[in-house]
Structure 1
Amino acid sequence: MQITAVEAIPVNIPITPLEEGGIAPYVTNHNSLEDMDRVLVRVDTDEGISGWGEVRVFLSPDATVSVIEDGIAPMIVGQSPFEIERFRRQLFIEYANTDMFFAPIETACWDIVGKATERPIYELLGGWTTPGQTGRKHRNHQTEYDDDRSVEFAYCLGILPPEESAERAKEVADAGYSVLKTKAGRDWRTDVERIIAMDEAVDGELEFRLDPNQGWTTDQATRVGAMLDDAGVYLQYMEQPIRVDAHGSLAALRSRTTQPIGPNEDTYIAHNLQQLIAANAVDVAVLDLTPAGGIAGLRQQAGIAEDAGIPVTHHCAFDLGIRTAAIMHAVVGIPGFDLPSDTVYYSWEDDVITRPFEIESGRITVPSEPGLGITVDDSTVEQYRID
């Protein structure tokens, strides 16, 4: 089997407004979102089997499409989709890291391999029956494996006033979620006030993640941790509280606070995860398959974290059904993922797959059909296509 073509398709999907139960405008330290551009990637083969991947836009839809179709595709066409690891290791371009552009092609190759072998990706990855795997039910190492084929997700919320955040926290708890992540970073004092208000509103029924997207200084992050300690609030983790590549400062912050530290953007940079571990600067690894270069690269990072005894979760990047499926297969099939992954899947006004996922009590059932287990709806893609 050989790859014959790679097509990148940019789409723009609206996000459901707050007043309709959604999260738009989704306010972060950097921007405010009411819709989102995504690029869908289809890889075709000479045996009539196609696979799908998905990636966020880099700079612009046109720029992302061009790098994938004009830059990466010529290196891939004519080769076998079964050679995923070789692809990943041969993709060297001087002065540039192209992992994020390769990731959707790599995911599509996994989709093709699964369809060709008639197996879901999580089975191909081999770790889905590992004791302690996220979303899996195990009594102990000796007893029979019990698989409910669902993955738990954390609800993600943008920056809102404390009182509105508290109201949404109650709704999230009532919907059956166990973890809520909120953006932060515009005003650290209000960030603290908001978390305390949410915690009080749900009477401890939710765990919280606080993500300022590098928006605090080390001093501010230290104060946030201390004030939450005083209020009796213990976060699941603070996500990337300070700038990337400041591992010494991150380690110093970790020594000053009881709140766990979960680097995210830092893990997008090659070899940073090993350096964070060596610097004692990480409590939780917040990983993402796209900057990792795909599912195989994510497996490598998860193995590094697992060997260091560090809990692992997966980041959210406003993922439609294609990448949401890839994330679920990855966190089920790769050992080490033991915390709920982030998602905003509930917020889309529409999806590009024929059977959109349903979230029940904060969980989504992993597709058991071959490959990703999803079918892309061509008419919906054309409806939201932006090129």
Structure 2
Amino acid sequence: MPIAEISTRIARIPLHTPFVTALRTASHVESVAVTVTDDDGNTGVGEAPQVWRVTGESLAGARSCVDGPLRDALLGGDPDDLNALLDRLHAAVVGNHGAKAAVDVALHDLAAKRLGVSLTRYLGGSATTVPTDVTLSAAGTDALVAAAAQRVAEGFTVLKIKVGADPAGDIARIKAVRAAVGDEIGLRLDANQGWNAKEAVRIIGRFEDAGLGIEFVEQPTPAHDLDALAYVTSRTITPIMADESVHGVRDLVEVIERRAADMVNVKLAKCGGIRAARTLFGLARAHDMGTIVGSMMESHIGVAAAASLVAAFGTTAVSDLDAAWWLTAPPLTYAEGRIVLPSGPGLGVTVDIESRSG
């Protein structure tokens, strides 16, 4: 039952609430949905989200990559010989990590389905739920406090707060959130590259002096400037997480060698898929770096893949898998701050975007 077809379609799925960061404001998820079909009609699915300010990959580029060289490299291959197929996938083109991740996930999904097991089980795990934080968009103090209180009421116990768009006001807003939710709720900050090095050290130092119990600060400085990231890491007590600075293995090696961060956020669309993510996990753990798995602003397909990875391998902190929660009528179940993994084989999800695709 060789691979008989690889097809793509464009999905544009609305969010129930605008998603606001220091980099952008999003009202929709935009992705290339990929389906890999074997000769017996079994299918696997994956997706390549368009996130201009992180990966730089467009829908048109990802779709062309999948429909062209990746498809050519994989047609006729044996879905059960997964590692050989992944070797061919990653040798077919340079870069294009989002497109590769979409096909990598689809191949994993197909392989698990052919065995009749969940992707988590296929990867060697057994968990059926995984905890996640939920993101609070960048906003004014009153709106931020109201959103925090609502998310806690819904059962989330870890809040990720977008900062960096207004450094002068960030401290007051975080103080207000901490006062509103109490000390038992985890707070983590994501600056999305919004501060310079000295500014980051000053602001994080004020959080520390105020005793706000910040779990970590994610990507405080520009992604390309590892000197700035290392400067902040060496001068703060609060753990610093690399996100946009780390796409693949070489990036993480450089971060480790320069001691530029304490933790890393592994995202499938940044690194190229599940196999690459597993390599990043191993490298981080070998060097005592903290890990989480994150999601882009993507659909239930990408989030289900990321959650399955976490269910199989675990992370050192609660992961960041709330992207599907932002979708209108989300196809994944979120309950008491956890994602409930679908019970079916593979990812347990379908493309299911007929009314929201183009």
TM-score range, shorter chain: over 0.9
- Residue 310 of structure 1 deviates from its aligned partner by 2.0
Number of the residue aligned with 2:354: 382
Aligned to 2:11: 11
Do 1:122 and 1:330's aligned partners in 2 also have CA atoms closer than 8 Å? yes
Query: 1:115 maps to what in 2?
Result: 113
- Post-superposition CA distance 1:195-224 (Å, at most 9, x none): 111111112232122112111100110111
The answer to whether the Cα contact below 8 Å between 2:295 and 2:306 also exists between their aligned partners in 1 is no
Which of the residues 91, 99, 102 maps onto 2:100?
A: 102
Mapping 1:33-182, distance limit 5 Å: 33-57=26-50, 59-90=57-88, 91-92=90-91, 96-126=94-124, 128=125, 149-182=128-161
- CA shift for structure 1 position 230: 2.0
- 3-state SS in 1 of match to 2:10: strand
Task: Give the Å deviation of 1:114.
Answer: 0.9
Are the counterparts in 2 of residues 305 and 336 from structure 1 also a CA contact under 8 Å? no
Q: Is residue 302–residue 335 contact of structure 1 (8 Å, CA) maintained in 2? A: no
- 1:32 — aligned with what? 25
Matched residue count: 352
d(CA) in 2 for partners of 1:100, 1:376: 17
Q: 2:288 aligns with which of 291, 298, 309?
A: 309
3-state DSSP of counterpart to 2:261: coil
Between stretches 154-163 and 241-250, larger displacement belongs to 241-250
Moved more, 275-284 or 235-244: 275-284
Does 2:203 correspond to 1:224? yes
CA distance in 2, matches of 1:337, 1:82: 31
Q: Secondary structure in 2 aligned to 1:286?
A: strand
1:98 to 1:86, Cα distance in 2 relative to 1, 3 A: farther
Q: Report the AA paired with residue 110 of structure 1.
A: H
Partner of 2:222: 243
The structural deviation recorded for 1:300 is 0.8
SS in 2 for 1:340: coil
The answer to whether the 8 Å contact 2:303/2:321 transfers is no
| Secondary structure of 2:254 counterpart | helix
CA displacement at 1:339 relative to structure 2: 2.4
1:192 aligns with 2:164: no
% identical aligned pairs: 26
Partner of residue 19, structure 1: none
Q: Which amino acid aligns with 1:113?
A: A
- The letter for the 1-side match of 2:25 is S
- Identify if the C-alpha distance between structure 1 residues 332 and 99 changes in structure 2 by more than 3 Å, giving closer, same or farther: same
Distance apart, 1:120 and its partner CA: 1.0
Q: CA deviation at 1:338?
A: 4.0
TM-score by length of 2: 0.92
**Partner secondary structure for residue 203 of structure 2:** helix
Q: 1:350 corresponds to which letter in structure 2?
A: A
CA distance in 1, matches of 2:57, 2:129: 34
The answer (yes or no) to whether the contact 2:189–2:216 under 8 Å persists in 1 is yes
SS of 1:15's equivalent in the other structure is: strand
Structure 2: which amino acid aligns with 1:206?
I
Instruction: Give the C-alpha shift of residue 336 in structure 1.
Output: 4.1
- 1:358 maps to which residue? 333
- The match for 1:257 is 236
* Separation in 2, partners of 1:304, 1:336: 13
> What's the CA shift for 1:80?
1.6
In structure 2, the CA distance between the partners of 1:106 and 1:337, relative to structure 1 (3 Å rule), is: farther
The alpha-carbon deviation at position 81 of structure 1 amounts to 2.1
* Alignment partners' CA distance in 2, 1:223 and 1:202: 25
CA RMSD of aligned residues (A): 1.8
How far apart are residue 53 of structure 1 and its match? 0.5
Distance (whole Å) between structure 2 residues aligned to residue 209 and residue 287 of structure 1: 16
Map Cα deviations across residues 248-303 of structure 1 (whole Å, 9 max, x no partner).
33222112111210000111144111221222222221111122211111111111
Structure 1: tracts of 5 or more residues without a match = 17-22, 130-146
Q: Supply the distance in 1 between the matched residues of 2:113 and 2:323 (Cα, whole angstroms).
A: 27
Residue 236 of structure 1: how far off its partner (Å): 1.4
Partners of 1:242 and 1:301 lie apart in 2 by 21
Which 5+ residue runs of structure 2 have no aligned equivalent? 51-55
Q: 1:235 to 1:225 in 2, by over 3 A?
A: same
Letter in 2 for 1:34: S
> Cα–Cα, structure 1 residues 335 and 204, in superposed 2: closer, same or farther, change >3 Å?
closer
Task: Give the aligned residue type for 2:275.
Answer: A
